[in-house]
Structure 1
Amino acid sequence: MNRLPRRPLSLDALRAFEAVSRRLSFSGAADELHLTQPAISRQIKGLEEELGAPLFHRATRKVELTAAGRVLQRTVEPALARIDATVRQIRMTRSRAMVSVTTFPSFASLWLMPRLPLFERTHADADIRIAASDRFAELDDIELDVALRHCRPATAPAHAQRLFGEVLTPVIGTRLADAIARGEAPPLRQPTDLALHTLLEMDDDSQHADELGWPAWLSAQQMAGMAPRRWITMNYTHQQMQAALAGQGVALARLAMVHDVLERGDLVEPFGPEGRRWSPWCYWLVPLAGGSDDARPEVQAFNRWVLAQAAATRQAIGDVEDSDSAAHAD
């Protein structure tokens, strides 16, 4: 009975293969790995002999992956990335304490960053790394400790901890509020007055935008299809808040992220608390690969701090702790 060889493949050969398959160039891979081109060629030839299959079609000025090469690339590329990430994580934990957080840009700008100095005052020895992106990070990413997410309860990970619910409310900056008071801008005493103003909206065609943007709020006011004087659309919530602060129009704010700005008086709710609307979405803390109960002390401290800050936010927006925000939805 023939037995397939079980010798482990050389990591150096796999790195050479990954570099060539990504660049489709033996010389480019040699430059990247600081080796000579003949050395790269020998490693690829040895790997092909170990596997018993060619990995590349070689031409004078062109290199292409074979079918076997494409299969191997799909496994090797993410595997090497995970190995490198693990090594970086180990090196970080052996040097300075660090907490790596993934969240979306508007939450980072409007809620997390303004509060972060409070954490830094009592944890000066811990570095914070924030990866702000609209794309969800993988929950088993070894380089990340905590995810701060925004979704419906039904789609939250099983081990997620609810921070607070979502309340939407129209806001304007003091510049526009003063212009209205002086009669230099149209009145804004009731929702129908919005037809006289510029509305700041998300530039997003997802269901997320429909549920958290002006269409849902206007529908709740029996004003579906209302046309304002003008729309200004932009990608992120924090951009809408900046535009509102500059007096460029009326934004639909997420109360949890702007209640401190409202308290300072930099933003104004023209319709007061009556203009607020609960959405079925919530904000969550999700411990990741390094964020469980046996996580590093700095990660545990950060998680406790976020939960404490969230409790203060719940109180400020009138959220009931541990309640299901869907009960508040229209």
Structure 2
Amino acid sequence: MNRPPHRPLSLDGLRAFEAVARLLSFSAAAEELHLTQPAVSRQIKSLEEELGAALFHRATRRVDLTSAGQALLRVVAPALARIDTSVRQIRMSRSREMVSVTTFPSMASLWLMPRLTDFERSHPGADIRIAATDRLIETDDFELDVALRHCRPEKAPAGSERLFPELLTPVIGAALHQAIARGEAPPLATPADLAQHTLIEMDDGTPPAIALGWGAWLGAEQLGHLAPRRWITLNFTHQQVQAALAGHGVALARLALVHEMLARGDLVEPFGPAHRQPVPWLYWLVPLAGAGEPPRPEVQAFMAWVRAQAVLTRVAIGDVPDAETEALPD
């Protein structure tokens, strides 16, 4: 069974291997694949000969993966899943318009989804697929058309377009604001008053969580020593905002993602615009079309819509040249 280590592996049998490994049964895999059990056994045997290693421990009524089988499954299972996803999208794209977008969960929840009805109204035939993840994606990922990302300029992928900057501002929910006004909660007139309140913090274990957290904001306000009444720590920015809306304390919000809530009065800036702090992170639009391949019309339309919405956001947070206001979308 020895084979040269550089010899390419034939892909025949990988589907059968994945089914047997997942179901731990040759007969169940054969039924799922609409093959006979001997046919599945032959494919697995051929694959083992190609690899030069056994993939399964075979017993009378039991099948278990060997260490080699476990190692192969870790690679094969996600690869087959991606292939299946791509095939579905290719088949769907032959008859339907499709825009696949990746972004991080908080931008999806706080910025993209509240605005998406506007795009759907003008493009009723386009299906939208949103993959909300904090995992950095490859810019040549065939399954995706557009990425909306958040990073420092030196970390932005090639071809990225600046959407809007990051400004941090403390916010509270309307109910807490009213309770403070009635004297039913401690005052919150100056940043030093935060010591009497609960601070809602984001901590997802990433460097931005530190640079965009309360520690940095308080340090810039010469309050690095301040200890709040208590902390509430959450994983995502949108959870911070939800906690503030529910009246649990003071969140350090990202202005670009919450300015509409501030305009409606759902959230309140207790210290006003004067205590907004800029940080060197920006929001980006990243086209993901294949090299030399122009985006499909619906993808071009979506990116144009994102750009127009970004102009509105920049105007709302005070980050727009005068010339740009002359071309605001209707």
Give the TM-score taking structure 2 as reference length: 0.86
Deviation readout 1:1-52 (Å, 9 max, x if unpaired): xxx9x999464x2311233345554345334424343221022223445x37
Matched residue count: 315
- State the 1:220 CA deviation: 0.5
Deviation readout 1:221-256 (Å, 9 max, x if unpaired): 111131111111222211211221222211111000
3-state SS, counterpart of residue 111 of structure 1: helix
Deviation readout 1:113-163 (Å, 9 max, x if unpaired): 111111111111111111112222332222211111111111110111111
3-state SS, counterpart of residue 241 of structure 2: helix
- 1:63 maps to 64
- State the 1:63 CA deviation: 3.3
Distance 1:7 1:255, change over 3 A: closer
- State the 1:75 CA deviation: 6.3
Deviation readout 1:172-196 (Å, 9 max, x if unpaired): 1111111111111111111000001
Alpha-carbon separation, structure 1, partners of 2:266 and 2:281: 26
- 1:145 maps to 145
Alpha-carbon separation, structure 1, partners of 2:207 and 2:79: 34
- 1:211 maps to 211
Deviation readout 1:58-90 (Å, 9 max, x if unpaired): 3313433475x6776576555544432331221
- 1:168 maps to 168
Q: Is the 8 A contact 2:48 2:55 kept in 1?
A: no
- 2:224 maps to 224
Alpha-carbon separation, structure 1, partners of 2:186 and 2:255: 24
- 2:110 maps to 110
Alpha-carbon separation, structure 2, partners of 1:7 and 1:220: 57
- 1:319 maps to 319
Alpha-carbon separation, structure 2, partners of 1:284 and 1:183: 42
Q: Which aligned pairs between 1:16-165 and structure 2 lie closer than 5 A?
A: 16-21=16-21, 25-49=25-49, 51=50, 53-60=52-59, 61-65=62-66, 67=68, 76-77=76-77, 79-165=79-165
Moved more, 83-92 or 56-65: 56-65
- 2:324 maps to none
Does 2:271 align with 1:271?
yes
Alpha-carbon separation, structure 2, partners of 1:78 and 1:64: 17
Alpha-carbon separation, structure 1, partners of 2:175 and 2:67: 64
Deviation readout 1:259-298 (Å, 9 max, x if unpaired): 1111112111111111100011111111114698711100
Does 2:206 align with 1:201?
no
Q: Is the 8 A contact 2:56 2:66 kept in 1?
A: yes
Q: Is the 8 A contact 1:290 1:296 kept in 2?
A: no
Instruction: Give 2:89's aligned amino acid.
Output: Q
Alpha-carbon separation, structure 1, partners of 2:291 and 2:63: 46
- 2:302 maps to 302
Moved more, 281-290 or 190-199: 281-290
Alpha-carbon separation, structure 1, partners of 2:67 and 2:240: 49
Q: Is the 8 A contact 2:146 2:285 kept in 1?
A: yes
Distance 1:161 1:128, change over 3 A: same
Alpha-carbon separation, structure 1, partners of 2:113 and 2:93: 23
Aligned CA RMSD, in angstroms, stands at 2.7
Alpha-carbon separation, structure 2, partners of 1:290 and 1:19: 32
- 1:326 maps to none
Instruction: Give 2:191's aligned amino acid.
Output: P
- State the 1:208 CA deviation: 1.5
Q: What percent of counterpart residues are identical?
A: 67
3-state SS, counterpart of residue 150 of structure 2: strand
Moved more, 53-62 or 233-242: 53-62
Instruction: Give 1:255's aligned amino acid.
Output: L
Unpaired stretches in structure 2, ≥5 consecutive residues = 322-330
